[in-house]
A = this chain, B = another copy of it.
Amino acid sequence: MQAEIITIGDEILIGQIVDTNSAFIGKTLNSIGVSVYQITSIQDEKVHLLKAFAEAEDNVDIIIITGGLGPTKDDITKHTLAAYFNDTLVENDVVLKHVETLFKTYINQPISDLNRKQALVPTKAEVLTNRFGTAPGMWIEKDNKVFISLPGVPYEMKALIEHEVLPRLIKKYKRPHILHKTILTYGLGESAIAERIEDWENNLPKHIKLAYLPSLGRVRLRLSTKGEDEAVIQSEVEAQVQKVLPLIQDIFVGFEDNNNSLEQILGKQLVLTNKTLAIAESCTGGKLTEVFTKNAGASAFFKGAIVSYATQTKIDILEVSEDLINTHSVVSAEVASAMAVNVKRKLKVDYAIATTGIAGPTKGDSDADVGTVYIAIATDNGVIARQFNMGKHRERVINKTVNKALELLQKEIFKN
């Protein structure tokens, strides 16, 4: 059971936006046992759309198309689908009513001719109700294959996938179970890991696939398999995990699955143990705070952060002593420790993280090299601070520091 995702829009090809829809759709299809064979991104261009539709129909059973459904002239997906199926567009009463209601509710206006065209649908299409927008989703079957056309706006597309597309796919197709289990490691390169676990890897059953995902100071090892019986594949993968863990005990951090990033695991553990967190960040500039607060429920454990982007802010708001800064410099273990201890005290929390460093490209109020970063963790038992060199690339320095801070916090939280 395979799918192809076709994302349509010049903005993707010219790099004006990053296509995040495909990753969401891929992950969601996997969760119901559908593999994605290919993701194809193309311009709003009729000939190219027709070619992509035909190629996808040759290769897979399920074709999911996003984008090109807006009311303006640059959007051509619906007309092209009609042409592909030798079909015509007719006004759909249900969609028309829905568009009228949306306009009445949100801008208290009757719809114009342009909006009325949103209600045109190929006769062969079943309409999938788009509760958040005017462009209808469309489901068109051909033999045992199906074309599904969805708007490109992410939250409209997501709601359609969850509420309309998945239930229909589950009903229509018999699917295997797909399982991905990801082991998170820190501190060793992928080739060194590969050498260490070589025998185990060579003895993996053929139907269990191993992938190495090195990124920003950590390597993720992903085991993937599929099968008819969920319990069977789960116990097979679990058996392999239990075999490999002793080989990587010193670098093992935890597991990730589709729904649990490391920051989510940490957040859940804090809530479970009724503990709280605050952050004082400098070089990471709000990013470390954001990885916690982007998840629903963060306010149950997260009390706040002070982003002290200027030295004076460290003195005025975090109350780091000017003497300490002058003696050790603003990028130092001493200042990181003081930031962590002070934000812990001021926000009255159980755990505090602090970062101070030079993200670059130029040096700030410090003599330290670009990439030098100190991370401190304060707990009721005291404070630890460690120094790192995160390289010369600004975005990488920020993201590696965020990852490393999560790793250090994880060690503290799960120590007891």
**Chain A contact residues, CB within 8 Å of chain B:** 10-20, 22-28, 30, 35-44, 48, 70-74, 107, 112, 114-115, 134, 153, 155, 180, 182, 189-192, 194-195, 201, 209-215, 222, 224, 258, 279, 285-290, 292-294, 296-299, 302-310, 312-313, 316-317, 346-348, 360-362, 364, 393-396, 398
- Complex alpha-carbon distance, A199 and B37, angstroms: 43
Chain B: minimal CB distance from A50 (Å) = 14
- Complex alpha-carbon distance, A23 and B14, angstroms: 7
Chain B: minimal CB distance from A196 (Å) = 11
Q: Check if B190 sits within 8 Å of A72, measured CB to CB.
A: yes
Q: Check if B312 sits within 8 Å of A16, measured CB to CB.
A: no
Q: Check if A26 sits within 8 Å of B20, measured CB to CB.
A: no
User: How would you classify the secondary structure of chain A's contact residues: helix, strand, loop or mixed?
Assistant: mixed
In-complex Cβ contact of A23 among B17, B287, B290, B304 (8 A) = B17
Chain B: minimal CB distance from A42 (Å) = 5
Given A304-B317, A309-B303, A346-B316, CB of A194 within 8 Å of CB of B14: no
Q: Check if B309 sits within 8 Å of A313, measured CB to CB.
A: no
A113 nearest in chain B by CB position: B195
Q: Check if B210 sits within 8 Å of A74, measured CB to CB.
A: yes
Chain B residues within an 8 Å CB radius of A364: 299
- Complex alpha-carbon distance, A279 and B313, angstroms: 12
Q: Check if A35 sits within 8 Å of B13, measured CB to CB.
A: yes
In the A-B complex, the 5 residue pairs with the smallest Cβ-Cβ separation, listed nearest first, are A285-B293, A15-B27, A286-B289, A15-B26, A304-B313
Chain B residues within an 8 Å CB radius of A201: 73
In-complex Cβ contact of A213 among B16, B213, B286, B347 (8 A) = B16
Given A212-B72, A290-B290, CB of A19 within 8 Å of CB of B16: no
Chain B residues within an 8 Å CB radius of A44: 211
Q: Check if B155 sits within 8 Å of A396, measured CB to CB.
A: yes
Given A74-B209, A303-B312, A313-B303, CB of A19 within 8 Å of CB of B12: no
- Complex alpha-carbon distance, A251 and B254, angstroms: 49
Chain B residues within an 8 Å CB radius of A42: 37-39
Q: Which of A39, A70, A191, A347 has the most CB of B within 10 A?
A: A191
